[in-house]
Amino acid sequence: MYVRKIIHIDMDAFYASIEQRDNEEYQGKPLAVGYAGDRGVVAAASYEARKYGVKSAMPSKTALRKCPHLIFVPARFDVYKSVSNQIMDIFLEYTDLVEPLSLDEAFLDVTENHKNIPYATQIAKEIKKKIYETTSLNASAGVSYNKFLAKIASDYKKPNALFVIRPKDAEAFVESLPIERFYGVGKVTAQKMHQLGIKDGLELKSRSEAELVANFGKAGHMYYMNARAIDDRKVEPNRERKSVGAENTFSNDIESLDELAIELDEIAQDVINRIERSGFLGRTITLKAKYADFRIITRSKTLIAAVTDYSTLYNTGFELMKDIDLSAKVRLLGLSIKNVDNVIWHDAIQLSLDFKDWDDLNQQKE
C-alpha cells in the first residue's frame, strides 16, 4: 500500500506576530491588526489578545469591550507577502510539491524529497527551525499520510507545535475528535451536527453516507470519508484558485426574505474570512439558491473593483437575493466570488488596508 507523507505548516498568528516582531513595544501585549473605529474589524489577533476572546472578523468595538487595552495596528500586506515568500522558499528546499492555501499556510508532500530524508517528522522539525531562524516567527506543523489529518494535526496543539498522526492511530484519533475540530465544520454546521446527535468522530462514523449527503449536500460525502480518516486528495502545487465561496443548507426550508437575510449575513462573513485567509481577489459576486424541490438558480453581478469588504459583498448579495422567487421554499443559500481578470495585487493592498469600509458584523464566526 502506497502511503504518502504529508506536512501541513501553519504560521502562528501570522500578521499579528509580524507586527510584534517588528515593534518591541507590542511584544507580549494583546494586539489586533485592523482599524479601531466604530466600523472597524479585527483582521488578525495575537495570542495575548485571544486570551480575552478577541478573534479575527470580530467588530473592533466588540474586541475593545472584551479587551479595553487592546492595541490596534494597521495592516501591512506588502510586508506579510514578503515574509510569506521567504517561508515558501524554505518549503521548496525540500519538495516541489507545495500547495499554498494562503500567505501563512501550505501543504507539502515529502514522500519523495530533495534531501532524501526518510522521515516527514524530521523534515517538519527542520522547516520549523529554518522558518524561525529566517523570520523570527513560529510555525505549527502537522504530519500524517493525508491532507485532512495533516491539517487537523497542525492545529491540534498550537502554537509552535509539531503533532504527528500515524496510520495505526488515525481512525481512533478521528473517532475521539470533537466534531468542531473537523476541518470544514464551522459553527453553523457543528450546530446542525449536534441537532442530529453527532458530537464527535465516532458518532459521525456511525451515520451512513446517504444520510450525511441528504443533510449536508456534497460535503456529506467528505464528512463520511473523513470520519474514516480517508482523504485521497493530492497536494497540488500549481493549483490556481478560481473562486471563493460558502453556502449553508438549512435545517428547515425558508421562504421569508428577512430570514434569508440573516442567513446571508453569516454566509457573507464566512466568505470574507476566506478571502482574508487566501488573499483571493475577484469581481463577480454570485448568489446561489436551491429550492425544496432541488431546483437551483443563480444570480450574478460583476463589479468594477475586486471585492474586499463585507459591506459590498453583503449588500450586493442582498440585491441579488431580492430577485429570486420566494413563492417556493429555499433549502440552501450560497455566495461566491470569482473573476480575477484585471485585478492587480498592488491595488488589492491599498484596498485591503482600508478597514474603515468594513461594516459591523452581527455574528462572530469561528
Residues known to be catalytic: 105
With left for phi above 0 and alpha for psi between -120 and 50, is residue 307 left, alpha or beta? Answer: beta
**How far apart (Å, rounded) are the C-alpha atoms in residues 323 and 286?**
12
Kindly report the number of other CB atoms within 10 A of residue 242's CB atom.
Answer: 11
CB distance 131 to 90 below 8 Å: yes
C-alpha cell belonging to residue 122: 524530521
Position 115, amino acid: K
Q: Own/partner pairs for 232-241, CB < 8 Å, 24+ apart?
A: 232/146, 233/146, 233/147, 233/148, 234/109, 235/6, 235/97, 235/98, 235/99, 235/107, 235/108, 235/109, 235/147, 236/99, 237/96, 237/97, 237/98, 237/99, 239/99, 241/278, 241/280
C-alpha cell belonging to residue 175: 473517532
Position 107, amino acid: F
Q: What angle do CA 288, 292, 294 make, to 5 degrees?
A: 60
Q: What angle do CA 10, 13, 15 make, to 5 degrees?
A: 105
**How far apart (Å, rounded) are the C-alpha atoms in residues 7 and 151?**
8
Give 287-305 as a DSSP string. Answer: EEEEETT--EEEEEEE-SS
C-alpha cell belonging to residue 78: 506588502
Half-sphere exposure of residue 145: CA atoms within 13 angstroms, side-chain side: 13
**How far apart (Å, rounded) are the C-alpha atoms in residues 170 and 242?**
32
Spatial CB neighbours of 218, under 8 Å, sequence gap ≥ 6 = none
